[in-house]
């Protein structure tokens, strides 16, 4: 046993050290714009670092800085619901649609945006004037880097014979953004520190070394976005700590002169109170900033840095990944990406993209943060961001969390889980008032103020299956962690109440099935035989799949928690009466709607009817007919995307990322790999942010999850090793992935074949492990690594 453990330890240690230097993004020039800047984040505050030598710009974010305010936006439509449903079920869609449009629309109809906190500017002086020297004039040996292992963005360059270096990190343990500037010639640092935001905030020097930002979002009148007025209050505080030289404050700036080194501490807070899903006038963000800065008054930079690195690495280092043998870390990231855009294969870049996804999830969803990652994680430069940088619940926020568990970052799920539980309160009002149902739900868009009503229009925005879908993430957290307290206290109550919503929402259709109505298959529309197009329908296939998964999960959770048999009996009965998932007659694809309608956009980016394939679990190779139809469904979408005649431009970044996961679940490594390549080549910016376009982070997270899904699956009651390995990744190794049931999995492969896997279970027991077509029942003892040789899976 000892010898085996030694082998395992050597394997793990060697891999961790080998990966260190590959886990960096780096560039030979500063960011030309925000989409080239590099992100740091601690789950609550974030920053984008440009690395500009003389006009350094650090764009700031705080997760709760949202425009808007709580509103009871729910349409009172419960008494019209029976009529809308009857019309839908009788096939009188146009009438149902007009009636629904009259009475389902929420107010406000759109939500307001997550906003930038502003920008910190470090403006350097040359002689006695503000420097206007731009890159590369006078600047040499330039490099900027984001080290994913340490969570530090750094910039270094020489000018006038002096080497300048900077480091920026967002510390979770100290809840601050920390910046250090240094130069190798004493007294060489001379610059001005300023803050800017287009509106609603201003900075003032309140002491020689302190710049205070005070702000309040003033929402302007808007025809459909809810109440205007002064809303969220916020505050920031920058302390400048020079070594040598001086710092003075005047007006709206601080001035550093003749320093050898300067540390800047940046605190940011708002008056948002998560527990109330509202602002709280009793909170004092300025005081909070002061406390955070004062708390580290005696702490040297090195200690702040060490604490941050230790905390960051405790999560980051859990997983390592090597793809391929070539180490291209000596080539700048943008050059590697440019080569991939030209068709080059760079498996190590895919591995970097994977680790970057983990880094971004840690940066945008963990304590000290309280809110989940939004459409841009936590990084947004705008006051009105694309799609408000909001919480989109018809796939996007769910996709953000696809990598969380398998990539060994379960703590990133907690802000998401807490938020899901928090919106059950407003979600009950939506269920009752709009749908006349029990339980709770939300529709396709949400915000931190508990917005759960129908948004962006009735056909588009009526999506009451979102609540049940969200709660499946809580079940997943239990499946991966086996945390029974969490199941009892956090997951099952939310799941059960979502199931109660469904039980009271389902109605009987003409064939005797229990169906959701109204319903829609996200953002796609169908054509009636007479040519008219609609979105509203009943029992879209996605609804059936989500309801099936939630009911099945509730039955298991009820048994585990010892809940009342009466509830389980109701769930079991309803489960048996859901409509079947059908294969359409026209194309042999999974039918997207309850009838075999023609799709308005056959290449649509949403492939909602394949929820059961991924992220769901009910379409597996155990049902070959549906499995084959799932593949045809993807191929048809693809045909319409790739054929120049019909190209509908629907492969957005996140949609491409979903394709990776689909092909991985179909166990087609080549296609999954081709989609990873396409995600990098077509939908990735130079800072490796996903491009919808524009930047939208779900593609990063979906892509990361897809890469994991190619190496390890565990949704079908077994640990499946290397289920979809493409030939381009014939060599590689991974450590630290997690599998459902409570396992940590590492593997090494060569020539496209498993050499060995090391699996450590959290508990004793026997569990099936599959590789290729062979499945073995393996006995585990809690905490003891089991080594499985690749050969043992060969016939
Ligand atoms: C859904 C998608 C769009 C975009 C938006 C944020 O509406 O269909 O492509 O991702 O969410």
- The model's confidence at residue 641, banded by pLDDT at 50, 70 and 90, is confident
Percent residues over pLDDT 90 in the chain: 93
Could you say which DSSP state residue 335 is in? H
| Nearest atom, ligand 1, residue 652 CA | 9
State in Å: Cα 660 to ligand 1 middle: 18
What CA–CA distance (Å, rounded) separates 716 from 328?
Answer: 36
Q: What is the b/e burial string over 680-718, where b = at least 16 CB atoms within 10 angstroms of the residue's CB?
A: bbebbbbbbbbbbebbbbbbbbbbbbbbbbbbbbbbbeb
What CA–CA distance (Å, rounded) separates 353 from 375?
Answer: 18
Which residue's alpha carbon is nearest to atom 6 within ligand 1?
A: 387
| Nearest atom, ligand 1, residue 522 CA | 8
What CA–CA distance (Å, rounded) separates 658 from 680?
Answer: 14
State in Å: Cα 702 to ligand 1 middle: 14
Nearest one of 582, 589, 596, 605 to 523, comparing CA atoms = 605
Per-residue pLDDT tens over the stretch 283-321 = 999 999 999 999 999 999 999 999 999 999 999 999 999
136: cis peptide before it, omega within 30°?
A: yes
- Whether 246 contacts 196, CB under 8 Å: no
Which residue's alpha carbon is nearest to atom 5 within ligand 1?
A: 387
What is the token pair recorded at 108? 């406000």
- The model's confidence at residue 562, banded by pLDDT at 50, 70 and 90, is very high
State in Å: Cα 549 to ligand 1 middle: 24
Please report the pLDDT score of residue 136 as a whole number.
Answer: 67
State in Å: Cα 522 to ligand 1 middle: 9
Which residue would you say has higher pLDDT here, 138 or 682?
682
State in Å: Cα 124 to ligand 1 middle: 41
pLDDT at 76 over 90: yes
Which residue's alpha carbon is nearest to atom 7 within ligand 1?
A: 523
Per-residue pLDDT tens over the stretch 755-788 = 999 999 999 999 999 999 999 999 999 999 999 9
Please report the pLDDT score of residue 646 as a whole number.
Answer: 63
State in Å: Cα 605 to ligand 1 middle: 9
Residues 275, 399, 458: CA angle, nearest 5 degrees: 75
State in Å: Cα 600 to ligand 1 middle: 17
Ligand 1 neighbours by CB, cut-off 6 Å: 375, 387, 392, 396, 523, 605-606, 652, 654, 692, 696
**Hey, which of 692, 695, 701 would you mutate to test ligand 1's pocket, going by the most ligand atoms within 8 Å of its Cβ?**
692
pLDDT at 681 over 70: yes
State in Å: Cα 772 to ligand 1 middle: 36
The residues that bridge with 213 in the sheet, in sequence order, are 203, 236
State in Å: Cα 698 to ligand 1 middle: 10
Could you say which DSSP state residue 283 is in? -
Please report the pLDDT score of residue 647 as a whole number.
Answer: 61
Please report the pLDDT score of residue 7 as a whole number.
Answer: 62
Per-residue pLDDT tens over the stretch 653-670 = 999 999 999 999 999 999
Cα 200 to chain centroid distance, Å, stands at: 29
Please report the pLDDT score of residue 4 as a whole number.
Answer: 57
Q: Is 277 helix (H, G, I), strand (E, B) or coil?
A: coil
- The model's confidence at residue 179, banded by pLDDT at 50, 70 and 90, is very high
| Nearest atom, ligand 1, residue 698 CA | 10
| Nearest atom, ligand 1, residue 696 CA | 10
Output the DSSP codes for 639-701: HHHH-TTT------HHHHHHHHHHHHHTT-HHHHHHHHHHHHHHSB-TTS-BBSSSB-THHHH
Sheet with 176-183: strands ordered across:
24-27, 140-147, 152-159, 162-171, 176-183, 261-270, 229-243, 210-219, 201-207
Q: Report the chain's mean pLDDT, rounded to a whole number.
A: 95
For 225, other C-beta atoms within 10 Å of its C-beta total 20
Per-residue pLDDT tens over the stretch 387-423 = 999 999 999 999 999 999 999 999 999 999 999 999 9
| Nearest atom, ligand 1, residue 375 CA | 6
């Amino acid at each position: 046993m000892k010898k085996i453990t030694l082998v395992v330890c050597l394997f793990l240690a060697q891999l961790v050290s080998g990966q260190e230097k590959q886990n960096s993004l780096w560039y030979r020039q500063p960011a030309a714009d925000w989409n080239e800047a590099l992100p740091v984040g601690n789950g609550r505050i974030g920053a984008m670092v440009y690395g500009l030598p003389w006009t350094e710009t650090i764009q700031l974010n705080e997760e709760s800085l949202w425009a808007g305010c709580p509103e009871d936006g729910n349409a009172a439509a419960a008494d019209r619901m029976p009529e809308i449903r009857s019309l839908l079920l009788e096939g009188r869609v146009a009438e149902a649609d007009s009636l629904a449009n009259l009475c389902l629309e929420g107010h406000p109809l759109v939500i307001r945006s997550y906003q930038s906190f502003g920008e910190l500017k470090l403006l350097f002086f040359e002689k006695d004037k503000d420097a206007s020297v731009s890159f590369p004039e006078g600047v040499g040996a330039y490099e900027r880097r984001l080290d994913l292992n340490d969570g530090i963005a750094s910039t270094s360059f020489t000018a006038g014979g002096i080497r300048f270096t900077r480091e920026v990190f967002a510390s979770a343990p100290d809840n601050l953004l920390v910046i250090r500037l240094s130069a190798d010639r004493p007294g060489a640092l001379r610059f001005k520190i300023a803050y800017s935001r287009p509106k609603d905030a201003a900075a003032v020097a309140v002491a020689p070394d302190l710049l205070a930002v005070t702000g309040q979002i003033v929402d302007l009148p808007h025809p459909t976005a809810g109440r205007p007025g002064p809303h969220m209050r916020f505050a920031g505080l920058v302390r400048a700590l020079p070594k040598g030289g001086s710092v003075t404050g005047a007006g709206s700036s601080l001035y550093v002169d003749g320093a050898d080194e300067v540390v800047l501490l940046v605190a940011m807070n708002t008056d948002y109170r998560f527990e109330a899903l509202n602002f709280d006038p009793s909170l004092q963000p300025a005081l909070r900033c002061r406390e955070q800065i004062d708390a580290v008054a005696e702490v040297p930079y090195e200690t702040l840095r060490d604490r941050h690195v230790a905390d960051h690495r405790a999560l980051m280092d859990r997983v390592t990944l090597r793809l391929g043998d070539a180490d291209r870390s000596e080539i700048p990231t943008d050059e590697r990406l440019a080569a991939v855009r030209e068709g080059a294969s760079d498996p190590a870049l895919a591995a970097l993209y994977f680790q970057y996804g983990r880094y971004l999830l840690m940066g945008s969803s963990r304590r000290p943060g309280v809110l989940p990652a939004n459409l841009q994680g936590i990084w947004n430069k705008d006051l009105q961001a694309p799609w408000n940088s909001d919480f989109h619940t018809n796939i996007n926020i769910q996709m953000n969390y696809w990598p969380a568990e398998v990539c060994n970052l379960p703590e990133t799920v907690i802000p998401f889980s807490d938020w899901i539980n928090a919106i059950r309160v407003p979600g009950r009002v939506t269920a009752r008032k709009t749908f006349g149902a029990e339980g709770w739900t939300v529709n396709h868009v949400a915000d931190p103020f508990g917005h759960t009503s129908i948004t962006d229009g009735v056909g588009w925005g009526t999506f009451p299956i979102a609540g049940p879908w969200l709660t499946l993430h809580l079940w997943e957290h239990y499946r991966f962690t086996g945390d029974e307290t969490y199941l009892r206290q956090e997951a099952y109550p939310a799941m059960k109440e979502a199931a109660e919503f469904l039980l009271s929402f389902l109605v009987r259709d003409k064939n005797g099935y229990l169906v959701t109505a109204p319903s829609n298959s996200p953002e796609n529309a169908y054509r009636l035989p007479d040519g008219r197009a609609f979105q509203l329908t009943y029992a879209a296939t996605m609804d059936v799949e989500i309801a099936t998964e939630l009911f099945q999960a509730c039955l298991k959770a009820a048994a585990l928690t010892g809940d009342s048999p009466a509830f389980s009996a109701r769930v079991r009965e309803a489960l048996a009466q859901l409509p079947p998932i059908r294969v359409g007659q026209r194309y042999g694809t999974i039918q997207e709607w309850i009838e075999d309608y023609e799709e308005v956009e056959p290449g649509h980016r949403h492939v909602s009817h394949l929820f059961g394939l991924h992220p769901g679990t009910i379409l597996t190779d155990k049902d070959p007919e549906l499995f084959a139809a799932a593949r045809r469904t993807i191929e048809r979408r693809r045909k319409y995307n790739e054929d120049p005649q019909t190209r509908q431009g629907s492969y957005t970044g996140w949609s491409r990322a979903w394709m990776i996961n689909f092909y991985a679940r179909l166990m087609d490594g080549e296609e999954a790999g081709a989609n990873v390549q396409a995600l990098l080549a077509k939908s990735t910016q130079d800072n490796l942010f996903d491009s919808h376009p524009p930047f939208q982070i779900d593609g990063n997270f979906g892509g990361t999850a897809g890469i994991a899904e190619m190496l390890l699956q565990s949704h079908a009651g077994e640990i499946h090793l290397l289920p979809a390995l493409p030939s381009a990744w014939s060599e590689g190794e991974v450590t630290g992935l997690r599998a459902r049931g409570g396992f940590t999995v590492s593997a090494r492969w060569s020539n496209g074949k498993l050499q060995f896997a090391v699996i450590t279970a959290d508990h004793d027991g026997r569990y099936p492990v599959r590789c290729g077509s062979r499945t073995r029942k393996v006995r585990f003892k809690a905490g003891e690594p089991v080594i499985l040789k690749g050969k043992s899976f060969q016939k």
